[in-house]
Homo-oligomer: A and B are copies of this chain.
Amino acid sequence: MLGIKNIASYLPQKKVSNYDKKEKFELDDDFIENKIGVKFHCVKEDDEKASDLCVKAFENLVKKTNIDKGTIDCCIVVTQNPDFNIPHTSAIVHGKLELSQECACFDISLGCSGYIYGLSNILSFMKSNGLKNGLLFTSDPYSEIIDHDDKNTDLIFGDGASVTYISENPLYVPKDFSFGTNGKAYKEILCDDKLYMNGRAVFNFTATTIPKHIQKLLVKNNLEDSDIDKYILHQGSKYIVDTIRKRLKVDESKVPFDMYEYGNTISSAVPIILEKELNSNHKRLLLSAYGIGLSWGSTILEKN
């Protein structure tokens, strides 16, 4: 049975402090710590590209698990800030990691919901093609598109990447997925040269759509809150995570909030937390992510 065998991530060492921006944006500590929940955000080096962050995440994966690169037969990169639009970044990662020519590679273009879609994608693609060992990367370096005069985005996003190793005898296996889209609202988060985000509209969408969507997935699977050990929610902002948690009436201890030191890493936000929970012996985890598109997706992972 295929599932999540391991996860590694990479966060650039270089950090920018939001406390240094208090004057420019007229912020107080409460806003930084309790509203957005980002004290520092990670920033890659100027000459690093999405594929470089993937390679660094892979180097961290190799430090904690034995991987024979020659056995990798599927490599997917989830990104909306690719090295180039042509070719796909997964081909560049394939070349840098010197993977086998038998390896299927493609990119998935999705933002915040990308890890959930990517997980469903790599598992279903591998299963139906009889593939055995896959790498699912997320890498979306927003520092390339941030407008540093825009308070709505400059304070929130951080660079980061993750890699999920998909193989036999996994730690966790998805039990079910659920997806949704509201494409009519696509302009609420848009990048035409620089990133634009209508924070209020995105918050309203998240606060109304996501709790219901999560509850529906639980009901569909005959599960209750007590069956879920942790809810790993996309780290849009502290206010968003808190709002969803409260509307779900879930105890704070079950909903990790983790982005204080690195920011919102888009499709890497969920796997960066999942990596930390992977060996905690939880029976069941609920993952949910939402944003750009507008797009959302959730899954329930069960311990194998």
Q: Whole-angstrom distance from the CB of A97 to the nearest CB of chain B?
A: 8
Question: A192 to nearest B CB, angstroms?
Answer: 6
Chain B residue numbers with a CB within 8 Å of A90 are 181, 183
List chain B residues, Cβ under 8 A from A1: none
Cα–Cα distance between A294 and B94 once the two chains are bound (Å): 10
Within 8 A of B (CB), among A162-192: 177, 179-186, 189-192
Question: With A120-B125, A121-B121 known to touch, is A195 a contact of B86 (CB < 8 Å)?
Answer: yes
**Residues of chain B lying within 8 A (CB to CB) of residue A180:** 101-104
Which of A28-36, A108-116, A253-261, A272-280 faces chain B?
Answer: A108-116
Closest to A195 in B: B86
Cβ of A129 within 8 Å of any chain B Cβ, yes or no, is yes
Q: What chain B residues lie within 8 Å of A81 (beta carbons)?
A: 85
> A109 touching B82 by the CB < 8 A rule?
yes
Interface centre among A177, A180, A183, A292 (most CB of B within 10 A): A183
Tell me the A64-118 residues at the B interface (CB within 8 Å).
75, 80-82, 84-96, 98-99, 101-111, 117
B183 touches A84 (CB 8 A): no
A127 at the interface (CB under 8 A from B): yes
Complex: A180 Cα to B104 Cα, angstroms: 5
Residue A295, interface by CB 8 Å:
yes
Known: A80-B86, A292-B87. A107 touches B104 (CB 8 A): no
Give the size of the chain A interface in residues (CB under 8 angstroms). 59
A128 at the interface (CB under 8 A from B): yes
How far apart are the CA atoms of A60 and B54 in the complex, in Å? 40
Chain B contacts for A128, CB-based, 8 A: 120, 123-124, 127-128
The answer to whether A134 has its CB under 8 Å from any CB of chain B is no
Interface residues of A in 119-148 (CB under 8 A from B): 120-121, 123-125, 127-129, 145
* A263 lies within 8 A of chain B by Cβ: no
Q: B192, A84: Cβ atoms under 8 Å?
A: yes
Q: Which of A283-304 contact B (CB under 8 A)?
A: 292-295, 297
B residues in contact with A125, CB < 8 Å: 120-121, 124-125
Q: Are A183 and B99 in contact (CB under 8 A)?
A: yes
4 closest residue pairs by CB, A with B: A94-B183, A95-B183, A104-B179, A107-B109
Give me 11 A-to-B residue pairs in the complex whose CB atoms sit less than 8 angstroms apart, sorted by A's number. Answer: A80-B86, A80-B88, A82-B109, A84-B191, A89-B109, A91-B295, A99-B181, A102-B180, A123-B128, A125-B125, A128-B128
Besides A86-B292, A108-B108, 19 new A-B residue pairs in contact (Cβ under 8 A), listed by A number: A84-B191, A85-B109, A87-B189, A87-B292, A87-B295, A88-B293, A89-B109, A90-B183, A91-B183, A91-B293, A93-B183, A94-B183, A98-B184, A102-B179, A105-B183, A124-B125, A124-B127, A125-B125, A129-B179
